[in-house]
């Protein structure tokens, strides 16, 4: 149906899409910023075109520039990857009006799930449980509801994502200040000050279900990913299957994810996210209407290429696999290697990579765009590599991750590798008993001990 795919993105996900296009015999066109002119995606794409200055607002988020670039290059389809314009409704609508195929869900799908408070209302109609809360952007009623369900509560931006626009409120006295702060952050980050309220769950697991839908009636659900190792609501380590999820809970998660997809007639790839309490009761929190950063672990566990599937669905193909074809074939773990200094409050660490040694051997996959001599720019997300290991068991995947982390050498910038070495030797992680919030408590305890030693 189409031969030329435009990729208005950067980093490892742009490279991932380029490789899928090559395997399918499609022409890949990278739309890049001036800050990425020496990047690997620009070097490996079939065609390239600059879409603006380094600033994301002038390049990767500049819809007129991207639309012009697609017209100039004769692109027939666009794969947005994740981030930037991947869930931007006006961009999807412009693509649809311009007869450029958007490789992702429909504008209506994104509309229903992009607004988190609207998403809660939508899934409740389809008998999917949500965390007790209040969906409207009304301070007085939200405050009254918070007192009714009890503190702590969490205030979230309705248009939020990526861990931004969230505030935990531990007492009634804090509520007004946190409500206003969250509204302000939501307006700055998402251009929309609407917020909503949820009960804050203590020590939950963050579990998500990958889905694929061909828009012709077939909905596939995939084994869960556990994304509970987080810092400031940002995922750092993911694994599949979860050491916490048993078969009974897995079936329940599958059922709820299926209902969400069916209820909005979803098309293409997406992820339904849940918080699961200590009693293994899941609550819907949001749906990401795009490919996820952590998609490689699902690909390894099931043997199914999700990015290639996205493209084929967009071409109008029916899914050729069935639900019974999706099995758990191994255990996989992903570490997001970020250019940050974990010993200095995780400040970004851009700069030139002076030496690079990547790990290898059985059970290792690396998704990265960096190379020796590459300069990590200061303008974008700090992710520089996804290090993924897999094995017959969780123990084998962990052993391979420890080996891979020890083999990896990245000189010239600071990375989060030292932190991951600590995590993969910690008894809480090794036992699988971690939860959302565990890592931050560990880091606080570690910082306190370091300060005491300095004294």
The catalytic residues are 290
Please give the Cα distance from 51 to 428 (Å, whole number).
46
H/E element, 237? strand 234-240
Please give the Cα distance from 162 to 152 (Å, whole number).
21
Residue that has been written with the tokens 């251009």 in this structure? 191
Cα pseudo-dihedral 379, 380, 381, 383, rounded to 10: -90
State the CB neighbour count (10 A cutoff) for residue 26: 21
CB 263 within 8 Å of CB 293: no
Pick from 117, 256, 254: nearest CA to 196: 117
Please give the Cα distance from 45 to 15 (Å, whole number).
8
- Name the DSSP class of 130: B
21: left (phi over 0), alpha (psi -120 to 50) or beta: alpha
Q: Any alpha helices (H) in 24-78, and if so which ranges?
A: 40-44, 63-73
CB 87 within 8 Å of CB 257: no
Q: Are strands 77-78 and 4-7 parallel, antiparallel or unpaired?
A: parallel
CB 443 within 8 Å of CB 230: no
Residue 335 C-alpha from the chain's centroid: 13
Instruction: Provide the strand spans (E) within 162-204.
Output: 164-169, 195-199
Pick from 198, 182, 83, 216: nearest CA to 131: 198
Q: Is the dihedral of CA 86, 91, 96, 100 positive or negative?
A: negative
The pair phi, psi for residue 221, each rounded to 5°, is: -115, 145
């Amino acid at each position: 149906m189409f031969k030329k795919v435009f990729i208005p993105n950067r980093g490892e996900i742009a490279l991932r899409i380029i490789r899928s296009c090559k395997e399918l015999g499609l022409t890949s066109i990278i739309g890049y910023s001036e800050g990425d002119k020496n990047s690997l995606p620009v070097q490996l794409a079939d065609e390239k075109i600059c879409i603006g200055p380094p600033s994301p607002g002038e390049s990767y988020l500049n819809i007129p520039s991207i639309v012009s670039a697609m017209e100039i290059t004769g692109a027939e389809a666009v794969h947005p990857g994740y981030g930037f314009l991947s869930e931007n409704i006006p961009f999807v609508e412009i693509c649809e009006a311009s007869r450029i195929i958007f490789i992702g869900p429909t504008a209506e799908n994104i509309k229903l799930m992009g607004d988190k408070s609207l998403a809660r209302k939508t899934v409740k109609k389809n008998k999917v449980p949500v965390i007790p809360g209040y969906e409207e952007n009304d301070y007085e009623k939200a405050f009254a509801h918070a007192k009714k369900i009890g503190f702590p509560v969490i205030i979230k931006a309705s248009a939020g994502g990526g861990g931004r626009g969230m505030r935990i409120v531990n007492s009634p006295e804090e509520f007004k200040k946190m409500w206003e702060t969250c509204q302000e952050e939501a307006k700055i980050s998402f251009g929309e000050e609407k917020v909503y309220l949820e009960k804050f769950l203590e020590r939950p697991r963050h579990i998500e279900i990958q889905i694929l839908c061909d828009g012709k009636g077939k909905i596939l659900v995939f084994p869960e990913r556990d994304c509970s190792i987080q810092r400031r609501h940002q995922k750092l380590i993911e694994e599949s299957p979860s050491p916490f999820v048993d078969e009974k809970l897995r079936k329940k998660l599958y059922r709820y994810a299926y209902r969400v997809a069916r209820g909005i007639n979803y098309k293409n790839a997406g992820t339904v996210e849940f918080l699961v309490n200590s009693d293994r009761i899941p609550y819907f929190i949001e749906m990401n209407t795009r490919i996820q950063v952590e998609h490689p672990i699902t690909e390894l566990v099931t043997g199914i290429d999700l990015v290639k599937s996205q493209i084929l669905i967009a071409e109008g193909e029916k899914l050729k696999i069935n639900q019974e074809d999706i099995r758990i074939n191994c255990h996989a773990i992903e570490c997001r290697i970020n250019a940050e200094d974990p010993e200095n409050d995780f400040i970004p660490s851009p700069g030139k990579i002076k030496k690079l040694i990547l790990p290898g051997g059985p059970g290792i996959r690396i998704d990265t765009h960096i190379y020796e001599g590459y300069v990590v720019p200061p303008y974008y997300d700090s992710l520089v590599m996804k290090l993924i290991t897999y094995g017959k068991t969780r123990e084998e995947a962990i052993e391979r991750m420890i080996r891979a982390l020890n083999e990896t050498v990245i000189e010239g910038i600071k990375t989060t590798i030292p932190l991951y070495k600590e995590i993969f030797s910690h008894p809480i992680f090794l036992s699988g008993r971690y939860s959302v919030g565990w890592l931050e408590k560990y880091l606080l305890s570690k910082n306190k001990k370091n300060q005491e030693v300095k004294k």
